[in-house]
Amino acid sequence: MATETSVDYDRTKELKQFDDTKAGVKGLVDAGILNIPKIFVRPAEDLATEELNSGHKKVEVPIIDVSNIGDSIRRQEIVNEVKIASGEWGFFQVINHGIPLSVLDEMIEGIRLFNEQDLELKKELYSRDSAKKVKFHSNFDLYTSKTADWRDTLQLTFLDSDPDTSQMPSVCRKSTMEYFKHMKKLGETLFELLSEALGLQADHLNSMGYSKGCSIVTHYYPPCPQPELTLGVRKHADAGILTMLLQNHIGGLQVLHNGQWFDIHPTLGGLVLSNDKFKSVKHRAISNHVGPRISVACFFSGHASLLDKPFGPIKKLISEANPPQYEEFLLKEYFAKFFSSSLDTKPPIDYYKLVHQSKLKQFDDTKAGVKGLVDAGILNIPRIFVRPAEDLAADELNSSQKTIEVPIIDVSNIGYSIRRKEIVNEVKIASGEWGFFQVINHGIPLSVLDEMIEGIRLFNEQDLELKKEIYSRDSAKKVKFLSNFDLYTSKALDWKDTLQLSLLDFDPDPSEMPPVCW
Ligand SMILES: O=C(O)CCC(=O)C(=O)O
Ligand SMILES: [Fe+2]
């Protein structure tokens, strides 16, 4: 514990030092660093899951040609393509959108100029103040994430009005204004297509104000000396309703589909959200030896006037056959959740998932745990236990050949001072390197261990009504039985039931223990 705290302390200090430079990641590169600072290095277990990337892909990322959208037959086809892409991927690339290439190029160039201008000018805009409409910083979640990402961000928020040109950095003012104009128009078109794809009137989503408020979040990813150790943007799902994303020639955007990462080659891409009819795609950007990589995300997340209003599944889509999947929430609470947590934690929309919550409650209310399901003769495990596809894919990892062995420590002869020193040393190494070791020759009779296991088997296999009496999630209870202590907060449940005996302030009290195993 003590080491954990001191590591955390150093990290906070390093984060603050980095933040105080107000020079972002580009400042580090300009200073000529050869190794990236520790605050950017991803945990070893995350780095190991990169294998995910290597598999052969049998499908292709959807590309939608929106030319001739005015032709009613072609429009129907496009709506259908949008429906499939949004439902299966939550992502598509748009081509022939009519935005002049020069507008896109100049937008990227403006952002390059902003980031490469005199540092003192950039520093003036460096801020983490959520009230600021125009600000520059590195990693909005710098102090809450496990690892910082290799990018700097200039954020322009226009939720309640069109862009305020006077506040915009002069180097990218003209190009951003022009780009914004086109994004607004394309955004409206995409919202029309999405409305139609949901079986609604074409103007449905636009008339709700979704295409009115928008934030343009521009990222600058300087070349990274050790791209294998960090990311440009960690895996996440966007919080907004629709994101339109532009990236320069370097590429690096990847979307997660059926547990595999797909590279997205530079062109405009859209990302989407809805009542589970459309997917909210997980995506990330890798960092690279070459650069700068530049990307521009245009988030449509609703006009400022919607922030205080309840937000929930589209009423017209709800029926008995198609019940709501999410409860209503206030948009401002939802965004507060998003901005106060690390980008890669559970997407905020998951907190409002109704069906999932009610399925969890149903299971909890049986008080029979996982064993109850098995006794009922289920052949397929309920969905609440199924791990996300990307976690399952990462398990391939498990199969690789191991060259070292798990530490086993023989504690016999612990009374001899020379042997004790050796044991202490083994404990030190095992605890430092693994945080785990096995103990042998501990002197506990085998029968004690066997009887303990047998008692727990008897407890779990006794009459259900007796077990139910102590089923509880009450943290004050010293003796309780339950399945998954984190049932309501985890991504997927574990296949286990638990009898918990907390002996923190008292020796076991036999009268409180389950009779079969006391
Ligand atoms: O830079 C990119 O390609 C992705 C940026 C992104 O995902 C975001 O801003 O949410
Ligand atoms: Fe994103």
3-state SS, 297-344, equals EEEECCCHHHCCCEECCCHHHCCCCCCCCECCEEHHHHHHHHHHCCCC
Model pTM greater than 0.90?
Answer: no
Atom of ligand 1 nearest to the CA of 245: 3
Nearest CA to ligand 1 atom 3: 253
Nearest ligand to residue 253 Cα: 1
287 lines ligand 1 (CB under 6 A): no
Calpha distance 314→316 (Å, rounded): 6
Nearest ligand to residue 219 Cα: 1
Atom of ligand 1 nearest to the CA of 343: 10
CA–CA–CA angle 255, 261, 266 (5° rounding)? 50
Q: What is the DSSP string of 129-164?
A: -TT-SEEEES-TTTTTSSS--S-EEEEEEESSSS--
283 lines ligand 1 (CB under 6 A): yes
Task: Give the pLDDT confidence of 213-242 residue by residue, as tens digits.
Answer: 889 999 999 999 999 999 999 999 998 889
Calpha distance 327→329 (Å, rounded): 7
285 lines ligand 1 (CB under 6 A): yes
238 lines ligand 1 (CB under 6 A): yes
245 lines ligand 1 (CB under 6 A): yes
Could you list which residues have their CB under 5 Å from ion ligand 2?
238
Calpha distance 115→107 (Å, rounded): 13
Check residue 64 and give its pLDDT. Answer: 94
User: How buried is residue 319: exposed, middle or buried, by Cβ count under 10 Å (0-12/13-18/19+)?
Assistant: exposed
Cα 191 to middle of ligand 1, angstroms: 20
- If one residue of 295, 300, 335, 338 were mutated to test the ligand 1 pocket, choosing by the most ligand atoms within 8 A of its CB, it would be 295
Nearest CA to ligand 1 atom 10: 238
- 499: β partners: 481
CA R_g for the chain: 27
Nearest CA to ligand 1 atom 4: 285
450-471 burial code (b ≥16 CB/10 A, e <16): eeeeebeeebbeeebeebeebb
248 lines ligand 1 (CB under 6 A): no
204 lines ligand 1 (CB under 6 A): no
108 lines ligand 1 (CB under 6 A): no
Cα 237 to middle of ligand 2, angstroms: 6
Check residue 53 and give its pLDDT. Answer: 55
297 lines ligand 1 (CB under 6 A): yes
Task: Give the pLDDT confidence of 300-329 residue by residue, as tens digits.
Answer: 988 888 888 888 888 888 888 888 888 888
- The tens-digit pLDDT sequence of the chain (518 residues) is 334 444 555 899 999 999 999 999 999 999 999 999 999 999 887 787 665 555 567 788 899 999 999 999 999 999 999 999 999 999 999 999 999 999 999 999 999 999 999 999 999 999 999 889 999 999 999 999 999 999 999 999 888 777 678 889 999 999 999 999 999 999 999 999 999 999 999 999 999 988 888 899 999 999 999 999 999 999 999 988 899 999 999 989 999 998 888 999 887 666 655 556 788 888 999 999 998 999 999 999 888 888 888 888 888 888 888 888 888 889 888 888 888 888 887 777 888 887 778 899 999 999 999 999 999 999 999 999 998 777 777 665 555 667 788 999 999 999 999 999 999 999 999 999 999 999 999 999 999 999 999 999 999 999 999 999 999 999 889 899 999 999 988 888 999 999 998 877 767 677 778 887 76
Atom of ligand 1 nearest to the CA of 221: 1
233 lines ligand 1 (CB under 6 A): yes
Nearest CA to ligand 1 atom 9: 297
CB 66 within 8 A of CB 94: yes
CB 296 within 8 A of CB 267: no
Return the H-helix or E-strand segment holding 491: none
Helix %, strand %, coil % for the chain, to 5? 40, 15, 40
**Domains, the chain, ranges and CATH?**
13-55+66-305 (2.60.120.330), 379-512 (2.60.120.330)
Cα 238 to middle of ligand 2, angstroms: 5
Check residue 195 and give its pLDDT. Answer: 95
250 lines ligand 1 (CB under 6 A): no
Check residue 418 and give its pLDDT. Answer: 94
Calpha distance 131→120 (Å, rounded): 22
Q: Is the ipTM of this complex over 0.90?
A: yes
216 lines ligand 1 (CB under 6 A): no
217 lines ligand 1 (CB under 6 A): yes
Cα 204 to middle of ligand 1, angstroms: 27
Check residue 382 and give its pLDDT. Answer: 93
Cα 252 to middle of ligand 1, angstroms: 10
